[in-house]
Structure 1
Amino acid sequence: MFTVDELAQLAEITQLGRPVYLRYSQGPEADALHPSTDHESGLRMPGLSANPLAVPRWWSLDARDWLARRVCQYLRELEEGARPWILYGEPVDFGPDNEPLLVEVTPIAWLSAELVAEAHTRYHSRLRAGATTHRD
């Protein structure tokens, strides 16, 4: 797989006409050996858990802001040894966090540490990262 180094390049990939998904894991080869499992129940899921990168119609900000937000959503996974990568796949169901579960997965590219750093910087400088819906 090639590596995507910038959010602008990732934005271009998401505009190619086919839904692109983001996954944090050891990578496609490891995922082929170990299907997604719901950690709380221990149940094996019928597809690979991933997050859609498509920019929703209501999003009026730059697409790179949306992508930065999505990339940063699961950064804690990096601490567990996972790497971010993007893929195509066919949704067959949804997981416990309402994420699509994919089959017929086609790996596209790794996301570089530089892209993750760019996403983190953009997310925290352009959006209200961590803001909550409800006030205490």
Structure 2
Amino acid sequence: MTPFPHPDITSLDALADFLRAHQDRRLYVRWSRGPGADLARDGGSLDDLTRETLPGLSVNSLSVENWWQGRPLRLWAARRLYDYSHLRRDKAPGVHPWILTGTETGRGPDNEPLLTGARPLARISEDVIAEADEEIARQAGRWGPMRRGEDN
């Protein structure tokens, strides 16, 4: 696997700053072993249920939606990471989130965007995930990660 070409984002505030600085682009987060592993497989995700190769990388949007205006970017970033944070435990050792951009080519089986032409922008460190968990725990509302399994 090739080394990640960009430095890690090491705090939730740094991630919010990154989102602010790149608000003119569509940003996505992908949970995997990184772009080296993903792009070596011709850029297609594997559907866990059917074992079919999808026509792009399975990602989730990090871009801030217009309806979020005026609310804290830190909370937006925390929620976008928290929703899928279970993947770092459930998928395989070495899975972490990274930020990328590319072209949406369709939707996967969970209605997630599928991306081709992926361009890595940054890697999100484990410290950011811990901060996101803490930020979510401080909120008045209640929700959990979007996790499938026997306990759902």
Instruction: State yes or no: 1:14 paired with 2:12.
Output: no
In the TM superposition, structure 1's runs of 4+ consecutive aligned residues that sit over 6 Å from their partners are: none
Q: Cα deviation per residue 1:19-77 (whole Å; 9 max; x = unaligned)? A: 11101101101111333011112211111111111122222531211110110111111
Aligned counterpart, 1:63: 73
Given residue 28 of structure 2, which amino acid in structure 1 is its aligned partner?
Answer: Y
SS in 2 for 1:91: strand
Ranges in structure 1 where 5+ consecutive residues have no aligned partner:
132-136
Higher mean alpha-carbon deviation, 100-109 vs 33-42, is at: 33-42
Higher mean alpha-carbon deviation, 80-89 vs 53-62, is at: 53-62
Q: TM-score, normalised by structure 2?
A: 0.79
Residue in structure 2 matching 1:94, options 76, 91, 107: 107
Aligned counterpart, 1:134: none
Aligned counterpart, 1:39: 48
Aligned counterpart, 2:98: 85
Ranges in structure 2 where 5+ consecutive residues have no aligned partner:
1-5, 145-152
What percentage of aligned pairs have identical amino acids?
A: 36
Given residue 127 of structure 2, which amino acid in structure 1 is its aligned partner?
Answer: E
- C-alpha RMSD over aligned residues: 1.5
1:128–1:33: structure 2 CA closer, same or farther, 3 Å change rule? Answer: same
Q: Distance in 2 between matches of 1:121 and 1:104?
A: 34
